[in-house]
Amino acid sequence: MKVLKFGGTSVGTADRIKHVARLIQSDSQNIVVLSAMAGTTNTLVEIADYLSKGNTPGAQETLNHLNLKYNNVIDELFDTPGAHSRAKAVIDERFSYIRALVRGEYSLAVNKEILAQGELMSTAMMDIYLNEQGVKSVLLPALDYMRTDANGEPDMKYVSTRLKRLLDLNRDAEVFITQGYICLNAVGEVDNLKRGGSDYSASIIGAVVDADEIEIWTDIDGMHNNDPRYVDNTSPVGELNFEEAAELAYFGAKILHPNCVLPAKLANIPVRLLNTLDPKARGTVIYNMPPDGKIKAVAAKDNVTAIKIKSGRMLLAYGFLHKVFETFEKHQTSIDMMATSEVGVTVTIDDESHLAALVDDLKNFGTVTVDRDMVIVCVVGDLEWHNCGFEAQAVAALKDIPVRMISYGGSNYNISMVIRSGDKIEALKRLSSALF
Ligand code: ASP
Ligand code: MG
């Protein structure tokens, strides 16, 4: 059994829904997790927002607009009057439900109810469409099995028991369709796994059913080894381990959020990133792969600020770094990268919202220098320290580019260098030619 998750753009139009319905044809009994159609969750957020501001007409107008869009999709999607009217009935019911909520008072619970409707609609349409095509699909209502505990974490035991029971009750299904993103919370209210949470749903479901694989279908063909916007001839990365994927996630690489893949990682289930628009492309597979001594990818992170705190008092003294870190904590600023010497430390941040106050406080401990408009370029791969030469190659590739700081050895998977933002594209190109 596999778990296949399709994102909002993959089911964003009637044609795309038909395309996905073809893609999921399989001899094995798979579970298909769907997001809401592209744009729907954003629109639902907008509706909830109007309601929270007491602007009922705003909410109603936006809702009517969305309703029209769904009516059009239904008209395009279904050929037979039976399927058409069944889908129309389900969608009408969803919209009546939202309309009733919009007439009432706003609350957080109402907000979550509104946000849950997108996935309920996309899955209902897919299920009815598959049935119309003669496929025996079964809808698994996520609200019947997906639940978070009092800490907001997935309640794996509960999910496992409930989901397995549902699967057992439907042994003759050819395919299961279920909602990503939505769940019940610890007190039994409708809730969600946060924006983009369908990937998380797929990972949780995959772990619980011990899937052979979790496939995440989007509109890009896996992850590239450098940024195709700046570097020519990048190629897709065939395989990564979970740690490498986590390093790359920080750099905004088109990869899954580390939290999302945690259940899959713990259950040791491979996660494959595939492209709905190019289903034959091999994509990227993330799994507990053994170290292979290879560099996988280069990535960059923009809008980084480097802060240096230098103090004669740091020499042979203890407690200096503690005070520095405490100051960052006090100003709710997270540190991303760090390099230290005996007399000073430089750290990077990517959120400048508390910079002035932070710097002001840091001046209590030493001389502070701030370099703004910097970029972190990083090299990710199997960089365990016994693998000789990779750091030398990376540094040599940037030999004509001023490097503000270097960090290596924090994990086995990453070398990071901070440079001026104006040097980024050149640095990415040089790293690609030196390393791939
Ligand atoms: N529909 C939800 C969102 O747009 C969940 C998802 O797409 O993963 O955030
Ligand atoms: Mg989405």
Q: What's the pLDDT tens digit per position in 54-91?
A: 999 999 999 999 999 999 999 999 999 999 999 999 99
pLDDT band at 222 (very low <50, low <70, confident <90, very high): confident
Q: What is the mean pLDDT of residues 304-312?
A: 93
- 239 is a domain residue: no
Domain that holds residue 22: 2-218
**Where do the DSSP E strands lie in 311-433?**
337-340, 344-349, 367-381, 403-408, 414-420
100 plus 10 within the same structural domain: yes
Separation in Å, CA 283 to CA 206, 373, 379: 19, 33, 20
Residue 420 located in a structural domain: yes
pLDDT of residue 180: 98
The verdict on residue 116 lying in a domain is yes
Under the banding of pLDDT at 50, 70 and 90, the label for residue 254 is confident
> Best mutation site among 33, 40, 181, 193 for ligand 1, i.e. most ligand atoms within 8 A of its Cβ?
181
Q: Tell me the pLDDT band of 258, cut-offs 50, 70 and 90.
A: confident
Nearest ligand 1 atom to alpha carbon 195: 9
Identify whether residues 330 and 423 lie together within a single domain: yes
Give the model confidence (pLDDT) of 118-164 as tens digits: 999 999 999 999 999 999 999 999 999 999 999 999 999 999 999 99
Residues having C-beta closer than 5 Å to ion ligand 2: 8, 35
Q: Read off the pLDDT band of 392 (50, 70, 90).
A: very high
Spatial strand order of the sheet with 295-310 comes to 337-340, 344-349, 295-310, 367-381, 414-420, 403-408
Do the domain assignments include residue 30?
yes
Query: How much is the average pLDDT of 107-113?
Result: 98
Can you tell me the mean pLDDT for 14-27?
Answer: 97
Mean pLDDT over 323-333 rounds to 96
Tokens of residue 283, six digits: 């994509």
pLDDT of the residue at 249: 83
Q: Of 38-47, 211-220, 256-265, give the lowest mean pLDDT range.
A: 256-265
Residue 170 and residue 300 in one domain: no
| Whether residue 310 is found in the same domain as residue 416 | yes
Q: How many domains does the chain have?
A: 2
Distance between Cα 363 and ligand 1 center (Å): 43
Residues 199 and 322 in one domain: no
CA distances from 363 to 171, 271, 357, 366 (A): 67, 46, 10, 5
Q: Residue 220: pLDDT above 90?
A: no
Please report the pLDDT score of residue 253 as a whole number: 76
Closest ligand, as measured to the CA of 36: 1
Which two structure tokens, joined as six digits, stand for 217? 């279908």
Instruction: Look at residue 275 and tell me whether its pLDDT is greater than 90.
Output: yes
Same domain flag for 315 and 212? no
**What is the domain-level CATH number for residue 396?**
3.30.2130.10
Quick one: 214 and 300 in the same domain?
no
Question: Which atom of ligand 1 lies at the shortest distance from residue 35's CA?
Answer: 7
Q: From ligand 1's centre to the CA of 27, what distance in Å?
A: 28
Query: Does residue 252 lie within any of the structural domains?
Result: no
Kindly indicate the confidence band of residue 287, based on its pLDDT and cuts at 50, 70 and 90: very high
Distance of CA 420 from the midpoint of ligand 2 (Å)? 34
Domain boundary, last residue among 218, 249, 266: 218
311 and 188 in one domain?
no
Whether 209 and 74 map to the same domain: the answer is yes
Query: In this predicted structure, what is the pLDDT of residue 265?
Result: 95
Which has more pLDDT, 252 or 389? 389
Whether residue 263 lies inside any domain: the answer is no
pLDDT tier for residue 256 given thresholds of 50, 70 and 90? confident
- Statement to judge: residues 40 and 187 lie in one domain: yes
**For the CA of 194, the nearest ligand:** 1
Distance from Cα 169 to the centre of ligand 1, integer Å: 28
How confident is residue 28, by pLDDT bands cut at 50, 70 and 90? Answer: very high
| 217 vs 237: CA distance, rounded Å | 16
Could you tell me what percent of the chain has a pLDDT over 70? 99
192 and 308 in a common domain: no
On whether both 184 and 317 belong to a single domain, the answer is no
Of 200, 218, 236, the residue that ends a domain is 218
Ligand 1 atom 6 nearest Cα:
196
- Regarding beta strands 182-184 and 344-349, do their DSSP bridges make them parallel or antiparallel, or are they unpaired? unpaired
Question: Helix, strand, or coil here: 22?
Answer: helix
pLDDT band at 219 (very low <50, low <70, confident <90, very high): confident
**What's the pTM?**
0.90
Q: Which ligand is nearest to the CA of 44?
A: 1
Write down the mean pLDDT value for the chain. 95
**Is residue 286 a part of any domain in this protein?**
no
If you average pLDDT over residues 12-23, what whole number do you get? Answer: 98
Is 284 contained in some domain?
no
Confidence of residue 221 (pLDDT cuts 50, 70, 90): confident
How confident is the model at residue 86, as a pLDDT? Answer: 98
User: H-helix or E-strand containing 301?
Assistant: strand 295-310
* CATH code of residue 73: 3.40.1160.10
Q: Which residue, 187, 218, 249, sits at the end of a domain? A: 218
The phi, psi pair for 331, rounded to 5°, reads: -95, 20
